Amino acid sequence: MLYTNYLIIGSGVAGLTYAVKIAQRFPNKTVIIVTKADEHESNTKYAQGGVAVVLDLVEDSFKKHIQDTLVAGDGLCDEAVVEMVIKEGPQRLKELMHWGASFDVDESGKLDLGLEGGHSEYRVVHHKDITGFEVERVLLQQVHKLSNVTVLPHHFALDLITQHHLNITKSKNITCYGAYVLNQKKEDIITIKADTTLLATGGIGRVYGNTTNPTIATGDGIAMAYRAKAEIKDMEFVQFHPTALYNNKDGRSFLISEAVRGFGAILRDKNGQRFMPIYDNRAELASRDIVSQSIDAELKKSGDTHVFLDCTHLDINAFKNHFPNIYQECLSNHIDVEKDWVPVVPASHYLCGGIVVDKNGQTSVANLFACGECSRTGLHGANRLASNSILEALVYAHNIYAYHTANPPNPNYTNIPDWNYEGTSIPKEYILIQHNIKRLQAIMRDYVGIVRSNGRLTKAARHLDLIYNEVEELYKSAKINTTLCELRNMVNIAHLIISQSLEQKHNKGGYYNIDNVRTDKVSWLKVRL
C-alpha cells in the first residue's frame, strides 16, 4: 500500500497544473500522479488551437468573451462560472508563461492573437499549431523539479476506494479514500490511500472510435466517479470537431485546427460547391456544432464519406508559418495544401458534460475533486467555445489548489483492504474484448452520432445491454487487465450518453435529436435517419 497526501489521476494540463501548485506550496507533503500511458500522453498534448483569453482591453473585453461563450453554450452555461473563468484567465496565463511557456508573438513583440470559430475578436494565444504540446512540456518540466512529486507512468486507475470497498453499507455521505491502481508492467494491483483525490483523466473520444483524441481517452475518470455514485451530468453534449483529416483508418484522427478556417479556409463538397453559407451567415466561422451538423447533413444528402477543406487560395508561406505541423501531416498523407483540397470529416472531440463540480472543483463525493475535460463545471453548457478548454483547466486547477490551501484535507487513517483477486483467472478469449470494443464503437457512431433520434437511441441502449452483461461477466471472472477495464469504462460512458440523450427533450448546442421540437433552429437538419 502507498500513502500520499494528494493523489492525482491524469497527467494533462489539469492534473499537472494542480500538482505544481500544491507541491510548491506544501513541500513537506507528498503528491502522486498516476497516468496510464507515458507521462506525456494526454488530450492536452494534441490541443492545437490555443488558450482563449482577453488580453487586449481596447479591441476586446471580458464582456465580449463572456457573450461568445454564452452564445456557444446555447443557454445552458452557468453565467457566474463563465464570468469567473474568463476574468481569471489572464492571471492564469501569466503563471503559465512565468513557468516558461512560449507563445507566438507578432513583429512588434506582442502576443499574436488568433481568431477561431464562435469568437467575435482575435483572442486565442497559441504556439504554432501545437499549443497543447508546449503547455504539456512546460508543466512536466516544472513537475520534475519538485522532489515531493512522484509520477507513476503506465499505472491504470481501476476504481476509486469508497465505503463500498470497506463494507460500510449504511452511509449517507460517500467518501473517497484513494484508488486501486494497476501497475501495467508488473501486472499487480496496488492500493493508494490518499487524503484527497483529483480526477483529471480527460475525455471519452475513443468510445466513438473515430476521434481526435488519443487512444487513452476512454472516459476512465467519469466511469470511476459514476460507479462511486458521484453526480454525472450533460453527457449528451458530445462535441464533434468538424474537420478531422479523413483517412479511413482506425485510431486517432488528425485534427485540422479550427484556426485554419479562421485563417480563411473554405469547406466544399466533392463538386467544389461551398455549402456553409447556406446553413449559417457566419459560414465557416460558425460554432463547432453548426459546422459539424452542416457537414453531417451534406454527407447524409450525398452519401459521401467526407467533404473538403480548401486552402489553395491562401498565402502558402503564411500557412506554413502558422500551421507547420498541419502542413507536414497533410504532406505525409500525400496532400499538398497549396494545390490539393484536404479531405475532412467530423470526429468525436470533446465532452461538455461529465462529473459535476462546484467552483472549487468539488464533486458530490467527499474528498474527491475533478478538473479538466472529465468535469462538468457549467462553463461550456451545450457546446464548448473553441480554445476555452485549456483556460478552464488552468482556472479550476488553481481554484482546487486555493481551496486545499485554505482547507487542508484531513489525514486519511482509514484501514483499507487490498484488492481481492479471489476467483479470477487469466482469460483465454481476449479476442472477445477487442470484438466488443469494435461493436461498442460502431453502435455509438451509427446510433448516437452528431444527429440522433429516439428510435436509434433506444436501439443503441438494447445493443449496449448485451455488451454490458458480457463485459461484467468477464470482469468478475477474469484477471484484470487494462483493455478489459477500458472496455468496462467505455460501456459505462456509452450508457450515460445514451440515457441522458433520451432524457434531453430540447435541441441545444451540440445535441440534435430529430424527434425534439425546436422552433428557433432551422429545419434543414431534420433529415430522415
Element (H, E) at 436: helix 430-447
Q: How far is CA 194 from each of CA 198, 300, 456, rounded to the nearest angstrom?
A: 10, 50, 43
Closest CA to 447 of 456, 437, 455, 458: 456
* Beta-bridge partner residues of 239: 350
Closest CA to 410 of 32, 27, 29, 8: 29
| 199 neighbors 371 (Cβ within 8 angstroms) | yes
* Residue carrying the nine cell digits 503559465: 96
- Hey, CA dihedral for 325, 330, 333, 337, is it positive or negative? negative
Closest CA to 297 of 280, 309, 310, 282: 280
Q: Catalytic: which of 123, 206, 261, 288?
A: 288
Element (H, E) at 32: strand 31-35
C-alpha cell at position 83: 464570468
C-alpha cell at position 256: 485540422
- Hey, CA dihedral for 284, 87, 200, 28, is it positive or negative? positive
| 306 neighbors 253 (Cβ within 8 angstroms) | no
107, exposed or middle or buried, with CB in 10 Å at 0-12, 13-18, 19+?
exposed
Closest CA to 384 of 203, 256, 244, 523: 203
* Residue 180: other Cβ atoms inside 10 A: 22
- Dist CA 444 CA 463 (whole Å): 10
Percent helix, percent strand, percent coil in the chain, to nearest 5: 40, 20, 40
C-alpha cell at position 432: 472477445
Q: Where are the alpha helices (DSSP H) in 55-201?
A: 62-73, 79-98, 131-143
Give the CA count within 13 Å in the CB-facing half-sphere of 474. Answer: 24
* Residue 55: other Cβ atoms inside 10 A: 16
* Residue carrying the nine cell digits 488580453: 55
Give yes or no: 206 in active site.
no
- Dist CA 46 CA 41 (whole Å): 9
Would you name the residues annotated as active-site residues? 288
